[in-house]
Amino acid sequence: MRFVIVFCSAALLLLAAAAAINYVVNPYAIYPPRWFTPVSVNDLERALRELESPTARPELVVFGSSRSSRLRPADLECYTGLTSVNAAYAGATPEGYFALASYLVENKPPPKMIIVGVDIEAFQIAAKFGDKVTGVPRLKRYLQDTNALQETWLDGTNLVSWAQLDDSLRALARVFGLDPNQTTPLERAWKNMVNALAPKQKANDQTASARAQRRQQRRAANRAEISPALVTEHYQNRFNAYTALSDEQVRYFEALLRLAREKNIAVKLFVTTLHPQLIEVLNKQGFYPKRFADVQRWLTQLQPTYEFAYYDFSTPAKFGGNTQDFFNLSHIDETNSARVIGAMFPERKAQCAP
């Protein structure tokens, strides 16, 4: 009995210490203290912190995935004259657009305009891969499927989480002039414990090499130099068995449009661009053209109600772009992105065109 009491007391003390460190260091900028520079855990956090900046008063905001992330604020400001922020992030879906927009209008003056890059697969991808917004407590509360009990549980578990404690140590390392990207003592201790408890077995060099190769491929997944073969495989997986638009994502998208209408925010939507080489492969697979037609039909039905501008920029030819100005088969570069902006605001094309 005494052992159980000592063990439970020690566990509670450790949890309390972790909670205190995470609260004070606040590596994700979740809690009131702002004494340490936050650690960016992903591009959603970076976009969110840009919106949270005390000096940020954006008049135009871009929402979308990484396929919309290269619409540069400087280009947007030239074409529109509006102070602009690009809040697009990798893997974004309508629930993410809606949560970010809700957070923005609750904490800042509503922007005059939003631009949304519409990925055809965004209306299915959340169910398959998950949007990062579900892991950010200050955004998750805007999602329609949460309740107070879930929010409390999420906040509590996040406060004592191992991952946040690890990032708290990274934030502290930066204060002392150390590299925050290096392995932390917490990570080393965990690895040593796992190695000590794991059964001893002979190393398999071939298996280890294969695992290392797979890790390298995953790291490359969001980098510009990703190979055409990897992009093609990635998007075939995204569209595989994509048989209908997600009711959940459709609801979130319409909620975003309603929010914009209530706040008198002008909306421009555009279908994001894929390289014709990738589209050709996806057309053969069969799911992409069907869901593309579904999204177009659905947006056309919504237009009279929400009065947004809609552009089909699914291929570079549709906005005056070309097939050379791509980072990879699924991401246009800044030059093509500037052409996208120009196609939405043709009245300023002479002054701002690349």
Residue 220 has what pLDDT?
A: 45
What is the arrangement of strands in the sheet containing 309-312, beginning at the earlier edge strand? Answer: 84-86, 60-63, 113-118, 266-271, 309-312
Residue 275 has what pLDDT?
A: 95
Task: Report the C-alpha gap between 212 and 221 in whole angstroms.
Answer: 14
The residues of the chain scoring below 50 in pLDDT are 150, 190, 194, 197, 200-205, 215, 217-225
Question: Which one, of 133, 172, 136, lies nearest residue 155 by Cα?
Answer: 136
Residue 321 has what pLDDT?
A: 94
Residue 155 has what pLDDT?
A: 58
Query: Which amino acid would we find at residue 342?
Result: G
Count other C-beta atoms under 10 Å from residue 323's C-beta: 14
Task: Report the C-alpha gap between 113 and 60 in whole angstroms.
Answer: 5
Residue 214 has what pLDDT?
A: 52
Q: What is the DSSP letter of 42?
A: S
Residue 206 has what pLDDT?
A: 52
Residue 154 has what pLDDT?
A: 53
Residue 152 has what pLDDT?
A: 57
Task: Report the C-alpha gap between 46 and 48 in whole angstroms.
Answer: 5
Q: Which residue has the tokens 């404690």?
A: 165
* Cα-based distances in Å from 77 to 6, 86, 170: 62, 11, 36
Mind listing the pLDDT tens digit for each residue in 264-306? 999 999 999 999 999 999 999 999 999 999 999 999 999 999 9
* Cα-based distances in Å from 33 to 24, 106, 133, 237: 6, 20, 22, 42
Task: Report the C-alpha gap between 119 and 274 in whole angstroms.
Answer: 10
43-148+227-352 is classed in which CATH architecture?
3-Layer(aba) Sandwich (3.40)
Mind listing the pLDDT tens digit for each residue in 298-324? 999 999 999 999 999 999 999 999 999
Query: Which amino acid would we find at residue 137?
Result: P
Assign 223 to helix, strand or coil. Answer: coil
Task: Report the C-alpha gap between 1 and 267 in whole angstroms.
Answer: 64
| H or E element at residue 276 | helix 276-285
> In Å, how far from its chain's centre is CA 7?
40
Task: Report the C-alpha gap between 73 and 63 in whole angstroms.
Answer: 12
Residue 222 has what pLDDT?
A: 43
Residue 223 has what pLDDT?
A: 43
Query: Which amino acid would we find at residue 81?
Result: G
Q: Where are the domains of the chain?
A: 43-148+227-352
* Cα-based distances in Å from 134 to 92, 123, 143: 11, 16, 8
Task: Report the C-alpha gap between 308 and 266 in whole angstroms.
Answer: 7
Assign 306 to helix, strand or coil. Answer: helix
Say if CB 158 and CB 11 are below 8 A apart.
Answer: no
Give the alpha-carbon dihedral of 41, 219, 87, 35, to 10 degrees.
20
